[in-house]
Amino acid sequence: MIAQAAGAPAEETDRGPHGRERSRFCAATRTVQPVSELIRFVVGPGGEVVPDLKSKLPGRGIWVTATREALAEAIKRKVFARGFKREVRLSLDFVERTEQLLLRSVLDALAVAGKAGLVATGFSRAETAFSDGRVLALLHAAEASPQGVRKLAAARRRHRDEAPALVVGFLTSAQLDLALNRPNVVHAALLAGPASETFLARCRRLERFRTGDQQPEAVVAAPN
């Protein structure tokens, strides 16, 4: 759902909804897109451009398609200085820092899901969750062994869990440990619940940023 808006004036880049779905003008691609596919940026007190991932920070905002490519193009074309109509500062690693903030939002959402009791860590707890039919996705540490991944998938099949096998496999064991506040997390099952949906949505957003795929079918690729 992308509408051409090549002539959109700068003052409309941060205004309200267009039509039935909330959408904004992308300063890099010059198209109007749903806000779910964009990142809002504002200028901080020191004149530095900062990502506003929750779209709640005060002040004028500039919206850019939420991909590395679009953000790099926005920097190259100096759209922030033009859009904000002032001198602004951008760090040399601005794209990478934005990606790290997206990753941080993923880990924060996982921590919330863990505190809500929606993450079953370890093989035995995950297998119990399969039997209850509550598993929404599988979590595997990036360094997980292929044997462990296959073992958990086989346990799921034994319990006749026919739900789509969403898999999150890009987080390291250290990141999982920190988010879930427990040691040596390699495999886990994500249980159904609002906090889990938020976590998966943020995973998809990060995946879109990294790959440019606007509609990723799976969350991310799991270890082989």
pLDDT tens-place values along the chain, 224 residues long: 333 333 444 444 565 444 445 889 999 998 999 998 999 999 998 899 999 999 999 988 999 999 999 999 999 999 999 999 988 999 999 999 999 999 999 999 999 999 999 999 988 888 788 877 788 899 999 999 998 888 888 887 777 655 556 899 999 999 999 999 999 999 999 999 999 999 999 999 999 999 987 655 555 544 34
Backbone angles phi, psi at 189, to 5 degrees: -115, 135
Cα 85 from Cα 9, distance rounded (Å): 13
Instruction: Output the six-digit token pair for 41.
Output: 């940026």
Give the number of other CB atoms < 10 A from CB of residue 26.
Answer: 25
Backbone angles phi, psi at 36, to 5 degrees: -65, -15
pTM of the shown model: 0.84
Give me the pLDDT at residue 84, please.
92
Cα 35 from Cα 212, distance rounded (Å): 16
Domain ranges of the chain: 3-90, 98-211
SS3 43: strand
Cα 92 from Cα 94, distance rounded (Å): 6
Q: Which helix (H) or strand (E) holds 33?
A: strand 31-34
Structural contact between residues 176 and 139, judged by C-beta atoms closer than 8 angstroms: yes
Sign of CA dihedral 190, 194, 199, 202: positive
SS3 147: helix
Domain covering 3-90 in this structure, CATH number: 3.30.1230.10
Give me the pLDDT at residue 214, please.
63
Looking only at the bridges linking them, the beta strands covering 135-140 and 166-168 are parallel
For 120, residues 6+ apart whose C-beta sits below 8 A from its C-beta are: 126, 128, 129, 135, 188, 189, 191
Report angle CA 85, 86, 87 to the nearest 5 degrees: 145
DSSP state, 163?
S
Please tell me the CATH superfamily of domain 98-211, with its number: Ribosomal protein L30/S12 (3.30.1330.30)
